[in-house]
Each structure stands twice: as C-alpha cells, then as structure tokens.
Amino acid sequence: MRRRELGRSGVSVSAIGLGCWGMSGSYGPADEAESVATLHHALDLGITLIDTADSYGDDGHNERLIGRALQGRRHECVLATKIGIVRRAGPDGMAVVEVDGRPERIRSACEASLARLRTDVIDLYYLHRVDPDVPVEESVGAMADLVAVGKVRFLGLSEFSEATLRRAHAVHPITALQSEYSLWTREPEATVMPACRELGIAFVPFSPLGRGFLTGAVTGRDRIAAGDWRANNPRFADENLARNQALLRPLGEVAQAHGKTPA
C-alpha cells in the first residue's frame, strides 16, 4: 500500500483510506457483520486511515460500530472523526440536519465520540461544516484546546473555502482538509487545493468514486435502494442519470482496454 504524509504532522497514512458513512445506512440497508469484516480486511490490506463522524447513523451508530470493530487493533490505524453536523427528528418524523460549531458543543461532542470509539485520543478531528452563526476562530479555538489537553492529536476541516481555511489555520495548524473530489467533482482544484499546497495541508478527497456512479454500479434508479441518500441527489435524478451515463461510457472503455474495472 502506498503511503502519504498527513500534512506536516510527520504521520504517514495509506494513500487509500476507508470512509465508513455507508456502514450506517446512508446508501441503503447496511450489514453490521459485513461492515466489521470490511474494516478488518482493510486493516489487513494495509489501509490505515479510517474515517467516520458523530453524525453518521442514528445516535452515533457509526462511531459505536468502529469502536467495537477496532478493539485490539486500534494501534493499526489513524482514526478520524468529525464534529459539527447534528441530526434530529423533525415534526414530520423526517431527519433534520443542522450545523453546530459552538465551543461548548465541540467539547461535549468530543467526550461522547471518545466514549463511542472506545479510545483515549482522536487522531484527526474534523470540523464537519462551517457554522454560519459561530466565527470559525471560536470553533477551531475550542478544538485546539482539545489538542492541548491530549484528547485530539491533529485538526482537520471538511468542505471549507480557501478564505475560511486560512482563517482557521491562523488559529491552529490545520493538518487536513476533506472535500468531495473526483472525476465529476473538480471544484477544489481552483482555489482550495493550491491553498493546501501552500500551507502544507493534506487534501483528503471523499467520494472519489462519485458515490458509486463512476464504478458503473448505478445504471438506473432501480439500483438505488429505499432510504438511500442518493435518491435525493440531483445527479441521480432520472433526467440527469441518462446524461451522466453517456459521460461515463468513455471511462468504461478506457478501463476495458486495460483489463480493469472503472473503479
């Protein structure tokens, strides 16, 4: 497994990480036994960057799952989780997603994450999204306090603009910036990635396979299960899916020419 240095932290991780959101029902029903087996297989292959968040699944489901799965193997990975997105039930029973970057929320959420993950320290702690009602300096300042007391090793941000990244980095060194990036999501190339290079911040792409689309796995709406997050994503809407399939065809031809899958 190839490795990459995580910013200027001095810590190296596998070039391919394992994002665990899908293990908590985001892409349809999930099988816990299969999820644990996948985590163990990833470690066996030399994958060392494991990524979760306190908002993945109900009541911290994803962190609890990973905490159980990593028992006895915690030392084999760099464990990343996130704070800032809050999911609650709305009046109609549907999930309501809010952003909360208040310092007091960050402190209490970190304690809860540590307990669910069954660990004494979070290796990489991301602010999941910008809270428009809280200056980013206050949120990152609270996270820096967690580093100072040894509960967190390094700080990260998720889906931040260049300007906000620079403001955060001025408060405390940011080790990693996570954003969606793939063949069909190229926006970070314009400003965010150059800023990461300048500041020595690792860029961590999520959904590099286009949420399954770039693998050729989603050929129609019938391939999207009930409760699958992609059902409400415009890229997977009926009117767009056919056009996107046409764009995908050349990638499949390149893969076939090399005897490989599109992934």
Q: Are 223 and 200 within one domain? A: no
Residue 169's CATH number: 3.20.20.100
Residue among 56, 125, 126, 181 flagged as catalytic: 56
Q: Are 192 and 216 within one domain? A: no
Q: What is the pLDDT of residues 7-65, one digit of tens each?
A: 999 999 999 999 999 999 899 889 999 999 999 999 999 999 999 999 999 999 999 99
Q: Are 110 and 165 within one domain? A: yes
Q: Are 217 and 203 within one domain? A: no
Instruction: State the average pLDDT over residues 163-188.
Output: 97
Residue entry with tokens 């979070």: 122
Structural domain boundaries enclosing 214: 210-263
Q: Are 230 and 170 within one domain? A: no
Total count of domains within the chain: 2
Is 56 noted as a catalytic residue in this protein?
Answer: yes
Instruction: State the average pLDDT over residues 169-176.
Output: 98
Q: Are 8 and 120 within one domain? A: yes
Indicate the pTM of the whole model.
Answer: 0.94
How far is 11 from 2, CA to CA, in rounded Å? 14
How far is 228 from 168, CA to CA, in rounded Å? 33
Q: Are 192 and 247 within one domain? A: no
> What's the chain's Rg over C-alpha atoms?
19
Buried b (16+ CB within 10 A) or exposed e, 45-84: eebbbbbbbbbbbeebbbbbbbbebbeeebebbbbbbbbb
Q: What is the pLDDT of residue 227?
A: 83
Q: What is the pLDDT of residues 147-158, one digit of tens each?
A: 999 999 999 999
Per cent of the chain over pLDDT 90 is 89
